[in-house]
Amino acid sequence: MTDIINPTIDLFLYDLKNSLGDDEKDIDQKRQYFYQKLHETVREKLKQDGQYNDQKQNLEVEYLHLLKSIYAPLYPDTSLENGYYYPVQLGDSYGLLLEVAKPDKQLPEHFAELRTKIKQKLGENIATLGQTWMLSTYLPNSSEKTPEEIEKIAQECYKVIFPDIEEIEFDSEGEFIGAAIFEYSDKSLKQEIVKLEDKEIFTVVQTQHIIIAIYPDQETFQKLAEFYADWMRLFYYHHKIIWAYGQSRILTNQTKEKFRKIQTITESIEENITQENAKINKLQKISDILSKVQVIIKQYTSNLNNLKFQQGAIEINLNNYDKRLETLTKRATKKVVYNQTNINFLENFSQLVHEKYILQITKDLESFELGLRLLEDNINAINTQIETEKAKSDRDFQEFIAVLGSGVAFASLAGFNVIAECKSMFANNFFLCQSTLLYKFILVIIGSFLAWFVRRYILKRP
């Protein structure tokens, strides 16, 4: 392997500080989760310095150092040269840079030792928004290396960090203050479960994002530290965009499921209404089911609004990403005029966001809004049909009352001395003549039947 000098790993991690709708308990739990990535001595220092920053944190800050000293050593009572923490607040999120380095001349395989140190410090804590690995080093004889040889060195460094990968092809490459810089960005997303104190939250992050920079000499390499704040912001916007897109995929799946659920219920209702034995109690039960469907539709609509919110978040962060990339390029060109900077390849991410992320969400919203109109039209049609059936049931009931009233009126014509009339028509011992109530009841039935027959078959004739 080729010798490298001062191999350095900078791991940029990002966590949510607060989300839409979070209360104080949620915010505190996320703060404690972020603190778990730090050594306990640094946590105490953060709590102390946090009181100093409380007034600033109550405002919407773009970039805030969480420590008065800005940096904290990775190991207590040691020099920052052995590694350090660099925690910041970026708007509604936290950012953390962990740096470890190996001085003097080494081999690329020593990056594995540095990675182990970082993993030991982080433990099982993952980044809820995403993370970027940045590997940096410089060569003792850079001028003697061809671009192909330098790329091969970068590949060797990558394989040490991710040994499961047999062969790597970088997505893009460029130059940064004279360094050959390479990027590998896995386009796939993975869903992670983050365990807070009393609940779990689901997040979607990029599977892998790594930057490798091979500097030509020590002088240029030492300039790297002056740009960490710019990289911190740039990678933050990068991961915030991916996170928002991941949330949009979760919302999309949930919305599709709600659409299927509503559609299944409405189809079942339509089948029940068309049955001839639809009764008023069944219609009432269907109305109750429709009320529950309205609740699901509200959730469906809420998902659409959240999807629009994520689309807006992507657009805002994309605008910030483009501006920060432009700023980084200008600052690098101004600070190091004797070496070239060309990181236009990072614009490929902007193109991906425009052509895939934003376009996909736009198409999803159009589809879901059309689906919402179709669902509402179906439900309105069902409601109309229910009202029609209820009106028909009401008419049938009124018809029954009218017929029954006619029967009662017919029975009343018999007068008060119904027993005498019965005996005059039938024998004295005839069973109907033994009870006034029974005799009148029979008269009501006969009268009702005659009234029904007349209304049904005579009055309705054309």
The pLDDT value recorded for residue 397 is: 53
Q: Who has greater pLDDT, 160 or 293?
A: 160
The pLDDT value recorded for residue 294 is: 80
Phi, psi (degrees; rounded to nearest 5) at 70: 70, -50
pLDDT tens column, 81-126? 889 999 999 988 999 999 999 888 888 888 999 999 999 988 888 8
The pLDDT value recorded for residue 270 is: 65
C-beta of residue 87 within 8 angstroms of C-beta of residue 96: yes
Average of pLDDT values for 204-226? 91
The pLDDT value recorded for residue 373 is: 85
Give CA–CA dist 195/125, Å, rounded: 9
Amino acid at 353: V
53-67, 206-220, 398-412: range with lowest mean pLDDT = 398-412
Give CA–CA dist 135/173, Å, rounded: 14
Give CA–CA dist 346/328, Å, rounded: 11
247 burial level (CB within 10 Å; 0-12, 13-18, 19+): buried
The pLDDT value recorded for residue 281 is: 52
Say what the pTM is. 0.81
Mean pLDDT taken over the chain: 81
Q: Who has greater pLDDT, 50 or 2?
A: 2
5-14, 284-293, 318-327: range with lowest mean pLDDT = 284-293
Give the Cβ contact number of residue 317 at 10 Å.
21
Give CA–CA dist 241/205, Å, rounded: 10
The pLDDT value recorded for residue 135 is: 96
The pLDDT value recorded for residue 283 is: 60
If you write DSSP's letter for every residue of 420-447 in order, what string do you get?
HHHHHHS-TT-GGGG-HHHHHHHHHHHH
pLDDT tens column, 313-335? 999 999 999 999 999 999 999 98
pLDDT band at 276 (very low <50, low <70, confident <90, very high): very low
C-beta of residue 90 within 8 angstroms of C-beta of residue 73: no
If you write DSSP's letter for every residue of 114-132 in order, what string do you get?
HHHHHHHHHTT---SSEEE
